[in-house]
Amino acid sequence: MNTLPSAITLCEVGLRDGLQNEKTILPTREKIELLRGLIDAGFKVIEVGSFMHPKAVPQMADTDEIYKAVGQVPGVELRALIPNLRGVQRAVDCGCKKVKLNVSASRQHNLKNLNMTPEESVAGFAQCVQAAGEHGIAISGSISMPFGSPWDGRIPLADVESIIEAYLNVGITEISLSDTSGMAVPNQVYQMCEHVAGKYPQVSWWLHFHNTRGLAIANIMAAMEAGMTQFDTSFGGLGGCPFVPNAAGNISTEDVLNMCEESGIETGVDCAKIMELSKRVRDLLNHDLDSYVLRAGRAKDLILSHQ
C-alpha cells in the first residue's frame, strides 16, 4: 500500500489561471480583497497574476497595481507568471519577489507558435534567470502538457526529461508539471512523478491539474502516492486554457481541501473560509462554479447538520 503524505502545500492560482479566462474583468479592489482573503485563510503560496501584455490578457493588466497595494506579506510567497525579460522588469518595479516561466511540452505547439523547440525556448530563459537573480527575485519553471497534448497525443517521457534538463541548465530548480490539456490519467501521473522525483532529487516539484475529464483529484492522489507534496488549486474550480480546445478549469481548491481534511492530510488552509470566498467569486462573476463542495457542502458539515 502506498502511503499518503501527512501534509501538503497548496498554491492558490484562481487569481491568475482562474480569472484570466473570464469575460468579466473584476475591479482591482475586488482582486485585492480576494487576495487578502486567501492570505487570511492560510495560503502560504499564491499566484497573484501575470505580467503578460495587457492586450493579450486584459484580465491581468492590473497585476502590478495589486502587488503595490498588498506589498510583501511575511511567510507568504506571492508569485506571478512572466513571458520574458520584460516580465522580470515589471516584477522588479512593483515589488514582486517570485516569478514563473512556462514552456509547452508539445513540440508541434511550440514550433507552430514560437518557431522553436521547447528546449530552445527554455535556453532563451537564461537572461530572465540572470536578471531575476540580480534583483533578488526567485524564479521557477513550468512545463505545460507533459502528460499529453491535443497536437502530439501522449508526450514521451524522454521529451519531458529533455525539458527538465534544459531548465536545470539555466539554473531553475523549481519545476511545475502542468496538465493544462487535462489529458493525464492516474497511473501515468504516478509513473512520471515517481520517475522524475527519483532522477532529479534536486528539483522542488509542483503539480498542476485541470479537471477537464474529471480526473484531477484522482491525479493528485496518484501524485501524492508517488511522493509529491506541492499542488496548484483554484477557488471554485475556475480556469481553463485559451490555447487548448475545450479545456476546463483547474481542480477546485475546496474539493481538495475537503478530501485532505477527510484523509487526515494537513494543508494549513481553512476550507470554510475558502468556500465563502468562492461564493463571493461566484456572485462577482455571476455564474456557477465547477466545485462539488460548493454545491454539496463539506462531508463533516453534512454530519453535523443531522445530529
Q: What average pLDDT is seen over the chain?
A: 94
Instruction: Give me the mean pLDDT over the 124-130 stretch.
Output: 97
Question: Sign of dihedral through CA atoms 259, 265, 267, 271?
Answer: positive
pLDDT at 307 over 60: no
- Per the listing, cell 492516474 goes with 186
pLDDT of residue 41: 98
Cβ contacts of residue 211 below 8 Å, gap of 6+? Answer: 182, 217, 237, 248, 249, 250, 251, 252, 290
Going by C-alpha positions, the residue among 180, 242, 228, 189 that lies closest to residue 208 is 180
Residue 286 zone, left/alpha/beta (φ > 0; ψ -120 to 50; rest):
left
CA distance 134 to 186: 40
pLDDT at 304 over 70: no
pLDDT bracket for residue 301 (50, 70, 90): confident
Share of the chain above pLDDT 90, in %: 88
Instruction: Give me the mean pLDDT over the 134-154 stretch.
Output: 96
pLDDT at 302 over 80: no
pLDDT of residue 114: 82
- Summarised one tens digit per residue, pLDDT across range 267-280 is 999 999 999 999 99
Cell of 170: 539555466
Catalytic sites, residue numbers: 241
List the domains of the chain with CATH numbers.
Answer: 9-305 (3.20.20.70)
- Per the listing, cell 481548491 goes with 253
pLDDT of residue 19: 95
- Summarised one tens digit per residue, pLDDT across range 221-269 is 999 999 999 999 999 999 866 566 666 789 999 999 999 999 999 999 9
Is 202 within 8 Å of 158 (Cβ atoms)? no
pLDDT of residue 113: 80
- Per the listing, cell 528546449 goes with 119
Contacts 24+ apart (CB under 8 A), 127-135: 127/85, 128/82, 128/84, 128/85, 128/87, 128/88, 128/99, 128/101, 129/170, 129/171, 129/172, 131/85, 131/88, 131/89, 132/88, 132/91, 132/99, 133/171, 135/88, 135/91, 135/92
Cell of 86: 520584460
pLDDT at 184 over 90: yes
Q: What φ, ψ does residue 250 adopt, rounded to 5°?
A: -70, 170
Q: Check residues 245 and 77 and name the one with the higher pLDDT.
A: 77
CA distance 298 to 75: 28
- Summarised one tens digit per residue, pLDDT across range 96-121 is 999 999 999 999 888 888 899 999 99
- Summarised one tens digit per residue, pLDDT across range 28-56 is 999 999 999 999 999 999 999 999 999 98
**Largest alpha-carbon pair distance within the chain?**
62
Is 176 within 8 Å of 206 (Cβ atoms)? yes
pLDDT bracket for residue 183 (50, 70, 90): very high
Distances (CA, A) of 276 to 38, 52, 156, 265, 280: 11, 29, 41, 21, 6
Cell of 75: 511567510
pLDDT of residue 191: 98
pLDDT of residue 133: 97
Cell of 91: 516584477
pLDDT bracket for residue 66 (50, 70, 90): very high
